[in-house]
């Protein structure tokens, strides 16, 4: 006797049940048309290449979850394009089959939504039709057909992890979490459901204390992989634009080969110095600025946007780094958005090197946002007549003196600071560094303008207008 319902029996179902069945059948057909196959195959050392029974993309041996009970954390340290996101998504889907509560944590709320949940290799894309969850963004959760729930978190908001409990968690790009230690601590405290809570971490490596601690922990199952392991699945444009650009460089060793690099001799700033002076919060600030380096003046085509402030203790605090590839108009609007977010006094921008147009674009964006009667935008221009290395040296000295502090983790800026070797390439500093140098240099300049000779007749000096 067949266990499948007949057409007559289906016709007698409620309309909602019939619609659900139709939706599932359509999803199954879409999975088949897209070449989707089960993630794990019966070949223990499978290389992930198509073969009889598995014609679509599926797991390579290093992407399989570790067997047995002898681990608490699965730490997947791998280069860009290795398949970390797909691995974490497939593991999370499998865990939802067996456990009720899970945590999904990305560097920001947008990252968690756009990569872990809705991304091309995220949970919604990877889940099979018969176990595809529903994403409820207003409730910050992913709900599976069996009732299992995965709650969505941002590493920028560690306090949201303070109360909830979980059986497991997928933590993506841990090394890029701005409030790494605080979020890690809160997430750890919430792993208290079931007999053996577990965590899967998928991240590009950086030599941060939490990463080093996990590598040494005997209950960590460490897997390393490189970009080259999955090169056959990556777009040719990625191979040309990214791999060829960074191959053989210090940054490439970290981002492609997944090496955990310590201090590099000759780098602008030692990573140990950044780590020793990192803080979780900035003190009261006397002056705050946003540094902007328009695309095209350094390596790559990113626009550098970094916010920094001078504390009442005389030290400088790096508050935010939102540098990325943007159109001139988008960059100008993002610059003023950052200016407002950090309550900045000035926006300092490099406008030489054929980039004089940036001042006009910034003024246009200012009027679009604040209106024609908003007054003169607080722009300070930098005409970088000196070489990149000479401009960066005074800022590097402040780092060495322990007078520059990163508030949280600014991963890409820190990678550039610790991998750019001025002696080897003195005139081509990366854009994140340039924007930061503009900001800190202005803080130093404004500080000098307040210095006066000690005199009984000198009037007290206030904050610059």
Cβ atoms of residues 58 and 234 within 8 Å: no
Q: What is the count of structural domains for the chain?
A: 2
Cβ atoms of residues 104 and 142 within 8 Å: yes
In a domain, 166, yes or no: yes
Same domain, yes or no: 228 and 115: yes
Q: Burial level of 222, CB count in 10 A (0-12/13-18/19+)?
A: middle
Describe the crossing of helices 431-449 and 411-419 by its angle, rounded to 10 degrees: 90
As a whole-number percent, the residues of the chain with pLDDT over 70 amount to 85
Helix (H, G, I), strand (E, B) or coil at 442: helix
Show which of 205, 233, 261 is a domain's final residue.
233
Same domain, yes or no: 283 and 400: yes
Query: Across all residues in the chain, what is the average pLDDT?
Result: 85
* CA atoms of 277 and 287, how far apart (whole Å): 20
Residue 234 has a pLDDT of 76
The two tokens of residue 186 are 């809160």
Has residue 455 got a pLDDT over 60? Answer: no
Show which of 233, 252, 279 is a domain's final residue.
233
Cα-based torsion angle of the residue sequence 354, 357, 362, 367 in order, rounded to the nearest 10 degrees: 170
In a domain, 325, yes or no: yes
Residues facing 73 on adjacent strands? 199, 220
Q: Which helix (H) or strand (E) holds 198?
A: strand 198-203
Has residue 306 got a pLDDT over 90? Answer: yes
Cβ atoms of residues 146 and 101 within 8 Å: no
Same domain, yes or no: 445 and 299: yes
* pLDDT band (50, 70, 90) for residue 298: very low
Has residue 261 got a pLDDT over 80? Answer: no
Same domain, yes or no: 107 and 212: yes
What is the average per-residue pLDDT within 292-313?
A: 82
Write the secondary structure of 284-306 as one string of H (helix), E (strand) and C (coil): CEEEEEEEEECCCCCECCCEEEE
Has residue 244 got a pLDDT over 50? Answer: yes
CATH number of the domain within which 281 lies: 3.30.420.320
Same domain, yes or no: 229 and 275: no
Same domain, yes or no: 305 and 213: no
In a domain, 112, yes or no: yes
This prediction's pTM: 0.69
Cβ atoms of residues 204 and 80 within 8 Å: yes
Has residue 380 got a pLDDT over 80? Answer: yes
Cβ atoms of residues 314 and 287 within 8 Å: no
Same domain, yes or no: 122 and 223: yes
User: Domain residues for 213?
Assistant: 65-233
Same domain, yes or no: 173 and 275: no
Same domain, yes or no: 357 and 220: no
- Sorted by sequence, the CB contacts under 8 Å of residue 91 that are 6+ apart come out as 65, 74, 170, 200
Higher pLDDT, 169 or 49: 169
Strands of 115-191, DSSP E? 134-136, 141-143, 149-154, 168-172
Same domain, yes or no: 327 and 445: yes
> What are the counts of helices (DSSP H) followed by strands (DSSP E) for the chain?
16, 14
* CA atoms of 104 and 153, how far apart (whole Å): 6
Q: Which of 201, 206, 242, 237 is nearest to 220 (CA)?
A: 201
The two tokens of residue 1 are 């006797």
In a domain, 98, yes or no: yes
Same domain, yes or no: 320 and 419: yes
Has residue 257 got a pLDDT over 60? Answer: yes
As a whole-number percent, the residues of the chain with pLDDT over 90 amount to 51
- In the β-sheet with 149-154, what is the strand arrangement from edge to edge? 134-136, 141-143, 149-154, 101-106, 168-172, 198-203, 73-78, 220-225
In a domain, 76, yes or no: yes
Residues facing 142 on adjacent strands? 135, 150
* CA atoms of 267 and 270, how far apart (whole Å): 7
Please give the DSSP secondary-structure letter assigned to residue 451: -
- Sorted by sequence, the CB contacts under 8 Å of residue 40 that are 6+ apart come out as 58, 59, 64
In a domain, 242, yes or no: no
In a domain, 151, yes or no: yes
Same domain, yes or no: 277 and 386: yes
In a domain, 295, yes or no: yes
Residue-wise pLDDT tens digits, 323-348: 999 888 999 999 999 999 999 999 99
- Sorted by sequence, the CB contacts under 8 Å of residue 445 that are 6+ apart come out as none
Cβ atoms of residues 275 and 281 within 8 Å: no
């Amino acid at each position: 006797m067949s266990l499948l319902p007949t057409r007559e029996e289906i016709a007698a179902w409620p309309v909602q049940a019939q619609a659900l069945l139709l939706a599932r059948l359509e999803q199954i057909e879409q999975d088949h048309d897209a070449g989707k196959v089960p993630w794990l195959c019966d070949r223990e050392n499978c290389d992930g290449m198509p073969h009889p029974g598995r014609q679509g993309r599926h797991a390579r041996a290093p992407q399989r979850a570790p067997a047995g009970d002898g681990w608490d954390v699965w730490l997947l340290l791998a280069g860009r394009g290795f398949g970390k996101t797909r691995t974490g998504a497939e593991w999370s889907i499998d865990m939802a089959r067996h456990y009720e509560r899970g945590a999904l944590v990305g560097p920001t709320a947008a990252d968690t939504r756009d990569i872990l949940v809705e991304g091309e290799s995220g949970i919604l894309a990877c889940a099979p039709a018969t176990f595809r969850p529903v994403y409820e963004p207003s409730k910050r959760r992913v709900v599976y057909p069996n009732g299992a729930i995965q709650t969505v978190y941002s590493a920028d908001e560690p306090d949201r992890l303070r109360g909830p409990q979980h059986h497991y968690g997928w933590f993506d790009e841990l090394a890029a979490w701005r409030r790494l230690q605080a979020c890690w601590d809160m997430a750890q405290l919430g792993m208290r459901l079931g007999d053996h809570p577990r965590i899967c971490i998928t991240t590009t490596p950086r030599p941060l204390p939490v990463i080093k601690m996990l590598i040494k922990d005997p209950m960590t199952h460490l897997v390393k992989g490189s970009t080259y392991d999955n090169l056959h699945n990556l777009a040719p444009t990625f191979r040309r634009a990214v791999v060829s650009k960074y191959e053989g460089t210090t940054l490439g060793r970290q981002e492609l080969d997944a090496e955990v690099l310590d201090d590099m001799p000759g780098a602008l700033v030692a990573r140990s110095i950044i780590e020793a002076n990192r803080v979780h919060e900035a003190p009261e600030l006397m002056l705050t600025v946003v540094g902007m380096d328009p695309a095209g003046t350094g390596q790559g085509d990113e626009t550098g946007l970094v916010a920094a402030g001078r504390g009442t203790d005389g030290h400088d605090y790096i508050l935010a780094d939102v540098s990325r590839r943007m159109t001139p108009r988008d960059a100008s609007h993002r610059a003023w958005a950052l200016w407002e977010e950090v309550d900045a006094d000035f926006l300092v921008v490099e406008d030489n090197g054929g980039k004089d147009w940036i001042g006009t674009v910034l003024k246009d964006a200012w009027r679009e946002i604040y209106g024609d009667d908003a007054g003169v935008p607080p722009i300070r221009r930098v005409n970088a007549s000196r070489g990149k290395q000479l401009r960066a040296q005074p800022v590097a000295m402040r780092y060495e003196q322990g007078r520059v502090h990163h508030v949280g983790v600014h991963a890409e800026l820190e990678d550039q600071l610790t991998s750019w070797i001025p002696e080897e390439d003195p005139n081509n500093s990366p854009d994140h560094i340039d924007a930061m140098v503009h900001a800190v240099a202005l803080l130093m300049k404004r500080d000098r303008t307040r210095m006066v000779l000690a005199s009984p007749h000198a009037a007290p000096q206030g904050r610059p207008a």
